[in-house]
Chain A
Amino acid sequence: MSARGPVHPARQAWRRFRSSRGALASLLFLAASGLGALLAPLLPLASPRVLALEGEARAPRLELGGPRWAHRVSIRLRLSEPPRSGELLARAERLLVANVRELTGARPRVLRHGPGAAPEELELALLYRSELDPARGADLEARFASVLASQSGPDGLHVPGGGTLALARVEVTAQDGYGPLGALDRALVALRHRLFGFFQLGPWLGTDAKGRDLLARCVFGSRVSLSVALAAALVSVLVGVGYGALAGYFGGRLDSAMMRLVDVLYSIPFLFVVIFVITLLGEYRAELAQLGIGRMTAFFVVLGLSTWLTMARVVRAQVLALRQAEFVRAARVLGASHLFVLRVHVVPHLLGIVAVYLTLTLPAVMLYESFLSFLGLGVEPPQVSWGILASDALDALNPLSVAWWLVLGPALFLGATLLALNVLGDGLRDALDPRLGRNA
């Protein structure tokens, strides 16, 4: 006999899991990309929505980018003649900043455009706010112009401390880089503004035919893809565990009837049914929306409902085995209720196997989501998901312009995530149940 004492099964499993470097790396990668998706508005990415109207897709460029972030209100001032000195320009800028601050309550950033020492244009840039957007009826331009007029003479703006700056034209433009945002996302955008200003990364993954940055679209697409997958997998787990536990725990005729149904459902090609149901649900979009069920909600519920079969089978087998276990019998004999036994004795023993199958359900559901989005039946624009991006990329492929980067970007994101999920799932399964691992 060895001198080593018995090791707790959970600790043993963790030891086995840790020894699989691939699984550990996958876990870290997934955690990082999950965090990245959650905090996407915080990252110094280009806007995933704003169209540059360049008319064609552009290949990736490995540049750091500059203050180009397209989620801002810009007050642009054209200088009719170069400022007489840098010192004068600096004082004029302080005045302008004070004016904007007075009007909007926020301190703008000053950007000089034009050749180094002699800028031709000044930009006073603010973080985008809809109440400042001229397209939404804000009269910022007029108000700012009138303030400037009150401070100007015939030879230009009077700068405090002496001197004038000749201004030709004032213009306000605004670009909404995100569309409607929730509270958390608004806070994240504000934080990003504070951290990075108007700095953004260059088009590292290229841009699409509408000039949208692919890296930004992939990262924002991950929010949709990951959240749909997570929600659908949860639905699948809830249904699968509930169904399997019920069948396994009560056993007998109920069990065989329920498992027969699972067998029957197994022999239906599910993607077809899912597509069918999603199309039908499309007809009831308005009613579902009234009930507070968005298209996305309906989508992941349908996805979840179509992937619970394996989970149900596995859980049932496990529960069936547990039911025969001594400690469960003992609890029943001592008068514990079914509910109590399920909650205290059965469910905790299921956690491991459920965790394993959850990680294996996730990639399956993600695959479904990307399939459906790819076919134009899933997530709808302006939402982006990896499936949509891949579909767009293949549509854009033609012999005249081979925009390979459009294919590569989503492939990288989707491929890496699915690979990590698969490796993690395999690793978990091997760690928790070495016997299962050998079969697959």
Chain B
Amino acid sequence: MTALLTALDLAVELATPEGRVPLLDGVSFEVAAGETLALVGESGSGKTLTALTVLGLVPPPLRVSAGRAFFRERNLLRLPGRELRALRGRELAIVFQDPLGALHPLLTVARQLTEVLEVHERLARRAARLRAAAALEEVGLEPERVLAAYPHELSGGMRQRVAIAMALLLRPALLFADEPTTALDAHLEVQVLELLRTLQRRHGTAVVLISHDLARVAEFADRVQVLYAGRTQESAAARVLFERPLHPYTRGLLASTPTLRGEPRFPLPAIPGQPPDPLARPPGCAFHPRCPLASARCRAEVPPLESLRAPSDHRTACFETPRLLLERAR
């Protein structure tokens, strides 16, 4: 399986008067065509930043300091602006977290959809409008009513459907979905995710699903990669990760989400403490202050991300992995 997108050692930093602060530190991942990869972590873990880095949308004063991202053999991070723009919207698309903020408040839905077609396909406005209507229909909206509307006149669920329609307008090969359901009510959440999955299967789109909800993601993703404090902590096939998590952080995340199987637990156990302030990241393994297994080594050294054993692609970054594997074997 050749990868559609291969990102290697992405690093983003913030220059402050006190020095450079790394926000993203050596994150690598691969997505194959039609596959769904989930990036999971608490807020501030760098999952959105990963997507922005690949798309070349990292806002100043943040700066991409290292890394490569090969999309169809071309390094997106070195691509001239014009070529990158030609890919954005056409081959690479993104759906943002908050659909109200992500849609332009003063432009009609029609205008926001048709301009994508006008720019990338040089379609005339009338033809573009027809395509836009079709795209809206595909996400289950009434085109005529929605096209003429302004975003504030739509409900939250409708807005997110518009955003999805807009992202998929040109059948991109890869879609980033940045917490597409966080701003929605619970009952809409499943609907929107189902919609994404349906469209993905129909068009063969690869999806990078960004979420903080490990349990929810496990149902939709093929593979899951867990980020913490700007570093990858564990990555594996979704089923593997969900059933046999290794990294203490992943375990904590799973323990703190309501499960679909097994005994309901009340109250849900939470990981103690807070994710670290990027300006004052702890030395060694960034998770050690909250980790029940932390040793002196964890406080001093950063654990490397290591594969368990071929052919499994289960990888984890923890010094305690051998002990945990032993425990599991027993």
Contacts and interface: CB of A to CB of B under 8 A. Distances in A.
- Direct A–B contact present (CB less than 8 angstroms): yes
A3 B277 CA distance: 11
Nearest to B276: A1
B274 A2 contact: no
Interface in A1-45: 1-3
B279 A1 contact: no
B1 interface: no
B296 interface: no
Interface string B250-277: 0000000000000000000000001001
A3 B279 CA distance: 12
Contacts of A2: 277, 279-280
A1 B282 CA distance: 11
A1 B273 CA distance: 10
A203 B277 CA distance: 62
Query: Taking each of B274, B279, B280, which has the highest tally of chain A beta carbons within 10 Å of its own beta carbon?
Result: B280
Q: On chain B, which size bracket covers the interface?
A: under 10
A89 B145 CA distance: 108
A3 B274 CA distance: 14
Contacts of A3: 280
Contacts of B274: 1
A11 to B, nearest CB: 20
B202 to A, nearest CB: 45
Nearest to B279: A2
A2 B280 CA distance: 7
Nearest to A1: B274
Interface string B272-316: 001001011000000000000000000000000000000000000
B241 to A, nearest CB: 30
A51 to B, nearest CB: 59
6 contacts: A1-B274, A1-B277, A2-B277, A2-B279, A2-B280, A3-B280
Nearest to B274: A1
Contacts of B280: 2-3
Contacts of A1: 274, 277
Nearest to B277: A2
Nearest to B280: A2
Contacts of B279: 2
Q: Give the 6 A-B CB pairs with smallest separation, nearest first.
A: A2-B277, A2-B280, A1-B274, A1-B277, A2-B279, A3-B280
Contacts of B277: 1-2
Nearest to A3: B280
A2 B274 CA distance: 11
B277 to A, nearest CB: 6
Interface string B29-41: 0000000000000
A193 to B, nearest CB: 53
A2 B18 CA distance: 15
A2 B277 CA distance: 7
Nearest to A4: B280
B249 to A, nearest CB: 19
A1 B274 CA distance: 8
Nearest to B273: A1
Interface string A397-438: 000000000000000000000000000000000000000000
A184 B274 CA distance: 65
A19 B277 CA distance: 24
A245 B174 CA distance: 58
A373 B274 CA distance: 64
B286 to A, nearest CB: 15
A159 to B, nearest CB: 76
A96 B274 CA distance: 91
B283 to A, nearest CB: 15
Interface in B14-30: none
A2 B282 CA distance: 12
Interface in B49-100: none
B275 to A, nearest CB: 11
A3 B282 CA distance: 13
A36 B274 CA distance: 56
A5 to B, nearest CB: 15
A3 B280 CA distance: 9
A274 B172 CA distance: 66
A2 B276 CA distance: 9
A56 B277 CA distance: 71
A339 to B, nearest CB: 45
A298 to B, nearest CB: 49
A144 B153 CA distance: 97
A20 to B, nearest CB: 16
A116 B280 CA distance: 77
B166 to A, nearest CB: 29
A68 B279 CA distance: 66
B313 to A, nearest CB: 36
A4 to B, nearest CB: 10
B272 to A, nearest CB: 13
B217 to A, nearest CB: 28
A6 to B, nearest CB: 16
A340 B279 CA distance: 46
A139 B200 CA distance: 111
A173 B280 CA distance: 79
A1 B277 CA distance: 7
Interface in B227-249: none
Interface string A125-161: 0000000000000000000000000000000000000
Interface in A36-72: none
A1 B275 CA distance: 9
A235 to B, nearest CB: 42
B80 to A, nearest CB: 34
A160 B280 CA distance: 89
A377 B279 CA distance: 60
Interface string B168-198: 0000000000000000000000000000000
Interface in B83-122: none
B135 to A, nearest CB: 37
A65 to B, nearest CB: 49
A1 B44 CA distance: 13
A231 B234 CA distance: 70
A1 B279 CA distance: 10
